[in-house]
Homo-oligomer: A and B are copies of this chain.
């Protein structure tokens, strides 16, 4: 429904090519007034407001975000670093992160590390190029990265670590995670209580602090039970399904094969179950499998996976709140890691050994 008035043609410039100056000229005010209108409309007189409003509508003006961020030194963007888009575990964490970020006026950028642990340089680059106001780190740090973090990053660009544990010397770095070691211990205790003695462990990556914490919990539990861990039962699964399938085949190849396999995450547990079944064995009758994370597929896999639940959404929320508090509340960032509660979720993939 075009209205055939005698008004001058409203040739809307392509967005981006019209600046605050054009609006000011058309509205017959100074650019300062337009700026004020945009940032706090109450501060301009009713009458002017409508003129500016009209000019904006006519030109299709929208402020250049780049210029704004540059001038203000603030982007209202938070960078979230995670190993891989496509990892179901992060669905929940991201949901928590996103909800508080949105609520507090921030947008999210997501950056994948593709399973590479982050290097010092990579973190340095982010720290220094102020493309974001803060960083949420959900990915592993290389041991070297830690130095950088402690040395200079935290002073300049707010960072909070989620899920991942951190090397001891960084113990009071801001972070939110479960007690991975205790949780792994609990899971192992559960297998022991079922009567297992030959319990294997598939860890993630050599350098990953996260899964080494879990490994440590496994070892502690075994030790407490007076069982010495055979080193051939501790295998790398690379945090991937394929890695875990290969690892499981190795484990099942042993003359004296384990009766239970504890995987450092669910992704690997899924692969592990598959490998056990393809070897013609049954889960849990022949081999029990326990995972870690409680991703959404854990519930529907067959048999349903016994695993450790992490309050992913809660972690996301807490991480983001801490980060934004630090960003907005000046230098007063709270230190130290906050531990949230985990929970062993008993389903069907683990049972007493049949022997």
Contacts and interface: CB of A to CB of B under 8 A. Distances in A.
A57 interface: no
Given A16-B128, A128-B15, A300-B270, A91 B95 contact: no
A232 interface: no
A67 interface: yes
A299 to B, nearest CB: 8
How many identical chains are in the complex?
2
A155 interface: yes
Interface in A286-306: 296-297, 299-302
Q: Number of contact residues on A: which range applies? A: 35 or more
B241 A296 contact: yes
Contact of A94 (B86, B98, B156): B86
Contact of A65 (B16, B67, B108, B131): B131
A14 interface: yes
B75 A85 contact: no
A46 to B, nearest CB: 26
Contact of A130 (B65, B90, B152): B65
A300 B107 CA distance: 36
A112 B94 contact: yes
Contact of A128 (B62, B82, B129): B62
A112 B98 contact: yes
A98 B114 contact: yes
Given A85-B90, A297-B297, A65 B129 contact: yes
A15 B66 contact: no
A131 B79 CA distance: 14
A144 interface: no
A277 B296 contact: no
B297 A270 contact: yes
Contacts of A107: 111
Contact of A70 (B70, B157, B297, B299): B70
A109 interface: yes
A271 interface: yes
Interface in A276-326: 277, 296-297, 299-302
Nearest to A71: B70
A64 interface: yes
A110 interface: yes
B70 A67 contact: yes
Contacts of A155: 14
Contacts of A296: 241
Interface in A55-96: 62-67, 69-70, 73, 75, 82, 84-92, 94-95
Contact of A300 (B88, B95, B274): B274
A127 interface: yes
B98 A91 contact: no
A90 B86 contact: yes
Given A63-B129, A84-B94, A86-B87, 8 more contacts: A14-B152, A66-B73, A82-B85, A85-B85, A85-B94, A85-B110, A87-B91, A241-B296
9 contacts: A15-B128, A67-B70, A85-B90, A85-B94, A86-B89, A86-B90, A108-B112, A109-B109, A241-B300
What 6 pairs across the A-B complex have the smallest Cβ distances? A86-B91, A65-B129, A110-B110, A274-B300, A62-B128, A15-B128
